[in-house]
Structure 1
Amino acid sequence: MNSANGAAVVVGVDGSESALRAVRLAAVEAARRRRPLRIVHGFIWPLLHVPVDAPAAGPPGSGLRHQAEQLVEAASAEAEATAPGLRISGEIIDGEAAAVLLGEAPAAAMIVLGDRGLGGFSALVVGSVAVQVAAYADCPVLVARGADRTDGPVVVGVDGSETARLATEFAAEAASVRDAPLVALHAYRHPASTGPGDMRPLVYDDSELRSEEERVVAEAVAGLPERWPDVPLLRETTRGRPATVLAEASRRAQLLVVGRHGRGELAGLLLGSVSQSLLHHADCPVAVVRAPR
């Protein structure tokens, strides 16, 4: 996360109810972290050479640009109602939605998106905007989906990778600002080859395997109790498909955190089956964290 002073929580809006839900989530997140909220609308029409100003003979307040101004104003009002006193700014930026949001990412604390939208954000989770933003943004990306809970733990998926370790740090901070417990969850299926020439035996000791997998979790959370002494920490290791296990855990969580890239089944996380499944099926908001380049 960009920890520079003044780095804002950025939320993308398009006038949809899903975007307003993202605004509420982003406003709460900004208030928790004592950061400003920046509301952004990607205004694609100039790129398509469509007239955007009110026609000369048109009624006052008509025109696409005025409509965009109104939806940003409505989002600002929603944010103020959600978190009174929050520092809020809004801007309409000419460009395609994903490109605009990716341009915001280097200076943002995080980007928040709804899971479905209109126009440039249409069918957000299953479309290109969410994939592009979550895959390439230089900051964490939070997708508002599932249930809005104020109880339950923050759950982070761990797999032994460097990105998962960073996701665990993000999750610990998220748990701290929520006054919630943190669950570090590791799912495994069976012994698997880690590369050419690394053939695992057909017969293996299940207790030894479980001990090895539990060490993955222990290494992922090493040092967290010292850095986040206020966060109750639970470790869970279970056999199963990571996407299925994490989706099931999201039913009791207020936030699910995953690293963008992982190891084994979580490799190439956001562009692979695990992340796609979570963005479709998680029952709480999902945060995707990337390693610095």
Structure 2
Amino acid sequence: MSGLVVVGADGSASSLAAVEAAAREARWHGADLRVVHAFIWPAMHVPLGRSFLGPPESGLRNMVERLLAEAEERARTVAPDVEVSRAVVTGEPLTVLEAQSRAAELVVVGSRGLGSFVGLMVGSTAVHLAAHGQCPVLVVREEGHGTGPIVVGVDGSSAGAGAVDFAFAEAALRGVGIVALHAWTPWNAPMPPPQDEEMPYASEPGALAAQEERLLHEALAGRQEAYPGVSVKHEVVHGGTREALIEASRTAQLLVVGARGRGGFAGLLLGSVSQAMLHHAHCPVAVVRSPDRSR
């Protein structure tokens, strides 16, 4: 039985870029592709048929059929061997795509749809799905896809383990390497056990850096054996996580982050780092929720 990749389509340039990315993902995953449009107008009791004064092809329903036909054509051009279906679902995009994510292995959306405010880097639908989707969510901008490695943000938390797994699986499917990046400062690094009773917060020079190196290696343990064909570059950066990941995204074809890391407040579904990546990364961003929160 094939898996399923779902992509949201609203006719915007961003959503068409998402359709092309979703078609590639479906081909790599050996999955079917479902192009979904959230049709909110029936719920608002707006006339859907053509205007008596307009041409036969006018009207909201015909407009939706045209944009879905264009999206399907884009998908078939990118991946002609992928099974593509369309779905028009009554409801607003946030609710419709969240429901679709329950049966999907990946949901793909554009960074900004037709309803986004001018100037916003990423729309509310993308942020909402990253927080509430029941599977990994890939957010795509209009710009072309890069050819660099996959960058995965690693913080050693259990919440971030799903992002590491997703990054390795995706790298194997794409035939590319991984840059596993861990950024730290003395303020976000866990304190090692005190070595000096008189100075309990002191540590030997280089101790924190060595500890963070170990954290990265431990977080990746077992993945290299599971994916022997994936080359991995370890990067431990002394600096801010957001800044390091944004810079790394300049040459990446995909950035993978967990929805929440070890520094997040309890109860938050989407952390500050993942939100910053959705707004400021230079490449597509995949947000992966921790296994205990996902389907």
Taking structure 2 as the reference length, what is the TM-score of the superposition? 0.89
Aligned residue pairs, count: 285
**How far apart are residue 203 of structure 1 and its match?**
4.2
> Which structure 2 residues correspond to residues 198-237 of structure 1 after superposition, within 5 A?
203-237=202-236
Q: Are positions 1:138 and 2:137 aligned together?
A: no
Partner of 1:78: 74
Code of the aligned partner of 1:53: G
Distance (Å, rounded) in 2 between the aligned partners of 1:279 and 1:133: 11
Q: Are positions 1:89 and 2:85 aligned together?
A: yes
Partner of 1:21: 17
Distance (Å, rounded) in 2 between the aligned partners of 1:137 and 1:252: 27
Q: Are positions 1:249 and 2:248 aligned together?
A: yes
Partner of 1:62: 58
Distance (Å, rounded) in 2 between the aligned partners of 1:267 and 1:247: 25
User: 1:245-284: per-residue Cα shift (whole Å, max 9, x none)?
Assistant: 0000001111100011110269878633322221111111
1:209 and 1:193, CA in 2 relative to 1: closer, same or farther beyond 3 A?
closer
Distance (Å, rounded) in 1 between the aligned partners of 2:184 and 2:142: 25
Partner of 2:49: 53
Unaligned runs of 5+ in 1: none
Is residue 260–residue 268 contact of structure 1 (8 Å, CA) maintained in 2?
A: no
Stretch deviating more after TM superposition (29-38 or 121-130): 121-130
**How far apart are residue 193 of structure 1 and its match?**
8.0
Is residue 159–residue 266 contact of structure 1 (8 Å, CA) maintained in 2?
A: no
Instruction: Provide the secondary structure at the position in 2 that maps to 1:107.
Output: coil
Is residue 144–residue 284 contact of structure 1 (8 Å, CA) maintained in 2?
A: yes
Is residue 40–residue 93 contact of structure 1 (8 Å, CA) maintained in 2?
A: yes
Instruction: Provide the secondary structure at the position in 2 that maps to 1:92.
Output: strand
Code of the aligned partner of 2:246: A
Instruction: Provide the secondary structure at the position in 2 that maps to 1:54.
Output: coil
Unaligned runs of 5+ in 2: none
User: 1:79-136: per-residue Cα shift (whole Å, max 9, x none)?
Assistant: 11111121100111110011100010010011101111213x6667543211211100
Distance (Å, rounded) in 2 between the aligned partners of 1:282 and 1:106: 26
Is residue 8–residue 35 contact of structure 1 (8 Å, CA) maintained in 2?
A: yes
Instruction: Provide the secondary structure at the position in 2 that maps to 1:69.
Output: helix
User: 1:47-79: per-residue Cα shift (whole Å, max 9, x none)?
Assistant: 222111223554212210110111011000001
**How far apart are residue 192 of structure 1 and its match?**
4.4
Code of the aligned partner of 1:8: L
Code of the aligned partner of 1:49: H
Stretch deviating more after TM superposition (98-107 or 275-284): 275-284
